[in-house]
């Protein structure tokens, strides 16, 4: 790609930049289109109250998506994050409320377990989809053992935190902004963030330069686990009670969110801000279908269709570039 740019004239390289820009704004554009459509159907929905309501579940989804993005940045895929978020929810609604010290220890242990999974995948050179698919069942089993029947209660402080009313801008948007910016600065703007992404982009080069790939993978999986813990806690703060299967759908949602946000499967190409925008888009898609009076049966299809449309748009942009 770079060699191609170097060889071509300035005019074409400007076109190339335009294409990159278009690709970069595509996630934001799709989100804007959805908000616009909701506004057209029901202008009152785009208000402080309406957005708070529509976007409340976006916070845990965005956190899970950023977690998934960490794993995808090192060329792996985490199919276990959905049941992991569910397990964290169960721990939050039981241990963390009743025995905060033990609760915190369990959650720290879970993050360490995530790091071990990353280490295992790296050391034995295992396909991450198989290992994390196995972990999906491990987390789900543990969740059922922690909380055999739906129930439990969110700690009061957590419920209070998720119900906070921020001035002017609804809380979910503020939270999404904070998540996006923290992940962006950490991963895209720090020197170690570059190394971590490099572990996905060009592992050979990174390891020849003397950096430990094992440590990189463990850190990224650990960060994914940390995001998963935050997602589970945020989810319980919203729903106030837990269920082992509460968040199983988060696996697919988080992968879709990363891809919608411009992330790629290989090569350490990820976009934290994009991932958060992707999560918001998927959350709002449900509300849009509601306003269009489309039966809830088609909610999932709506998310699938948005994914397909955005990917089609991205392909078109890429092809336009190739033919130019």
Partner 1 sequence: MTGSRIKLLVQPVFSQPWLWSFVGAVSVWIAAITYTGGYGAGGMVSATIALAAFSAIVGIAQMFVVTLGPGNVDLSLPANIGLASAVAMKVMGGDDSMIAAGLAAAIASGVGIGLANYLLIRLLRIPPIIATLSASFVIQSIGISYGRGLQVKPPPGFAAATSDQVGGISLLAIAAVAFSVLIGLVLHRTAFGRSVAAIGQNARAARLAGIPVERVRLMTYALSGGLGGLCGALLAGYFRGSSLDIGNEYLLTSIAVVVIGGTSVAGGKANVTGVWGASLFLVMLLTMLNTFGVSAGVRLLVTGLVIIAVIVAAGGPRNTR
Binding stretches for partner 1 (CB under 8 A): 75-77, 120, 124-131, 133-145, 148, 244, 252, 255-256, 259, 265-266, 295, 297-305, 307-308, 311-312, 315, 318
Minimum distance from residue 189 beta carbon to partner 1 (Å): 27
51: which residues sit within 8 A by CB, 6+ positions away? 45, 170, 172, 173
Provide the β-strand partners of residue 151. 242
> Which residue, 171 or 303, is less far from partner 1 as judged by CB?
303
The nearest distance, CB 283 to partner 1, in angstroms, is 15
Residue written as token pair 């009743």: 98
Angle among Cα 60, 62, 68 to the nearest 5 degrees reads: 105
Instruction: Give the separation between CA 208 and CA 191, rounded to whole angstroms.
Output: 17
CA–CA distance from 277 to each of 50, 54, 113, 226, 309 (Å)? 18, 15, 29, 20, 16
CB of 193 or CB of 249, closer to partner 1: 249
| Smallest separation, CB 255 to partner 1 (Å) | 7
Least spacing, CB of residue 171 vs partner 1, in Å: 28
Closer of 108 and 312 to partner 1 (Cβ): 312
Query: Toward partner 1, which CB reaches closer, 162 or 284?
Result: 284
Q: Minimal distance in Å, beta carbon 146 to partner 1?
A: 8
| 8-state DSSP, 44 | G
Q: Which is nearer to partner 1, 124 or 208 (CB)?
A: 124
The vertex-237 CA angle with 231 and 241, nearest 5°, equals 105
The backbone torsions φ and ψ at residue 64, rounded to the nearest 5 degrees and listed phi first, read: -65, -40
């Amino acid at each position: 790609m770079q060699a191609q740019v170097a060889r071509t004239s300035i005019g074409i390289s400007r076109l190339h930049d335009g294409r990159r820009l278009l690709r970069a704004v595509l996630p934001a554009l799709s989100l804007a289109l959805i908000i616009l459509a909701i506004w057209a159907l029901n202008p009152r929905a785009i208000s402080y109250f309406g957005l708070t309501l529509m976007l409340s579940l976006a916070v845990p989804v965005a956190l899970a998506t950023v977690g998934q993005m960490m794993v995808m940045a090192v060329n792996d895929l985490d199919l276990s994050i959905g049941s992991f978020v569910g397990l964290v929810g169960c721990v939050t609604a039981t241990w963390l409320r009743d025995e905060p010290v033990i609760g915190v220890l369990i959650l720290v242990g879970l993050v360490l377990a995530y790091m071990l999974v990353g280490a295992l995948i790296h050391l034995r050179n295992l396909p991450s989809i198989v290992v994390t698919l196995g972990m999906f069942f491990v987390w789900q089993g543990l969740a059922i053992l922690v909380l055999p029947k739906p129930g439990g209660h969110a700690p009061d402080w957590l419920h209070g935190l998720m119900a906070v009313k921020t001035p002017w801008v609804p809380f979910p948007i503020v939270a999404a902004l904070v998540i996006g910016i923290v992940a962006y600065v950490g991963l895209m703007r720090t020197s170690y963030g570059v190394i971590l992404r490099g572990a996905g982009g060009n592992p050979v080069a990174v390891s020849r330069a003397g950096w430990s790939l094992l440590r990189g993978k463990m850190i990224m999986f650990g960060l994914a686990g940390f995001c998963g813990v935050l997602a589970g806690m945020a989810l319980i703060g919203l729903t106030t009670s837990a269920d082992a299967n509460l968040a199983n759908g988060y696996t697919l949602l988080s992968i879709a969110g990363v891809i919608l946000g411009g992330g790629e499967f290989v090569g350490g190409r990820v976009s934290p801000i994009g991932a958060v925008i992707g999560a918001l888009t998927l959350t709002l898609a449900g509300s849009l279908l509601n306003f269009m009076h489309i039966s809830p049966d088609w909610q999932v299809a709506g998310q699938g269709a948005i994914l397909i449309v955005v990917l089609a748009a991205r392909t078109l942009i890429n092809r336009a570039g190739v033919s130019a």
